[in-house]
Amino acid sequence: MMKIALLIKQVPDTRTVRMDEKTGTVVRDGNEAIVNPLDLYALKAALDLKAAQPGTTVTAISMGPPNAEKALKEALALGADDALLICDRAAAGSDTKATATILTAALNASGPFDLVLTGERATDGDTGQVGPEIAAAAGFGLITFANSVTATAGGIEVERKTENEVERWKVELPALVSVTKAVGEVGLPTLKGKMVARRRVVPVKNTTELGLAPGNIGLEGSPTRVVRIFRPSITRNGIKLQIFDEASLESAVDVLASFVKGEEKA
């Protein structure tokens, strides 16, 4: 019987996301936020552990704007027992370290937890740092990129695949585990689950309630500075051959022939 915390994040839908060419930032207007797809594997791992050990509870925790409640309600609809939203303007601009500071405080406030599960990274920031930083801050054991998590008498057993081998770890609790796609897909929410989640009130806490000082969070508490975000330019300089008559066909053949001979640097 475990008390599991599940960390989830809302991210822009990568299928429809657009970038502002000038500022290099994500255009958030009109883009629907979704649950970070990689976090859904963590939810799957949590729900499997819950199903295997009756009495195990799953609490979904997210830090984000008020509409991140939607992600938490999705977790509730899929089978999480409780949810907590950390929502505070003071947290805006937090880097991975400041985010880990806030989430560690959230875990302490609603815990203690035996196991914290996360996705391997979020599809927007793409760092995969927050989980390990929380483990360090909270003093938890850490396993990243787990392919499976099973409960044992004394803790959990975790399998992770490396380039050459499969590692199997016996892990003492408390621990933080980030999981991969290999864990499996979470199901779809049922209508009953949705109806219950829709009527639940998700508790919201701010950073003051978590006892955090402004200097440790937000931009001020973030040692990382984003200097510039840009699209890498593609270095292949191709030429376009348009064929519309005999003459253009001939010249195109000439260009291709010289390219094959190595005369033309395409």
Query: Among 85-93, 107-115, 184-192, 224-232, which window interacts with other proteins (CB under 8 A)?
Result: 184-192
> For 148, what's the count of Cα atoms within 13 Å in the CB-facing half-sphere?
8
Pairing of strands 57-63, 3-7: parallel
Query: Is residue 260 at the binding interface for other proteins, with CB under 8 A as the rule?
Result: no
Instruction: State the binding string over 191-210 for other proteins (x if CB under 8 A, else -).
Output: xxxxx--x------------
Termini Cα distance of the chain: 63
The site string for other proteins over 1-20 (x = CB under 8 A, - otherwise) reads: ------------x-xx----
Contact residue for other proteins among 12, 37, 111, 125 (CB under 8 A): 37
Which residues does 133 contact at the CB level (< 8 Å), separation at least 6?
96, 97, 99, 100
Give the residues across from 160 on adjacent strands: 146, 167
Closer residue to other proteins (CB): 15 or 228: 15
Binding to other proteins (CB under 8 A) within 53-92 occurs at 74, 77
Q: How far is the CB of 242 from other proteins (least distance, A)?
A: 13
- CB within 8 Å of 193: residues ≥ 6 apart: 76, 77, 78, 79
Interior angle at CA 104, CA 98 and CA 106, nearest 5: 105
The least distance separating other proteins from the CB of residue 155, rounded to whole angstroms, comes to: 27
Distance, C-alpha 53 to centroid of its chain: 26
Using the rule CB under 8 A, is 32 a contact of other proteins? yes
Closest CA to 43 of 75, 86, 16: 75
What's the closest the beta carbon of residue 182 comes to other proteins, in angstroms? Answer: 13
Chain residues that interact with other proteins, rule: CB under 8 A:
13, 15-16, 32, 34, 37, 74, 77, 184-185, 187-195, 198, 244
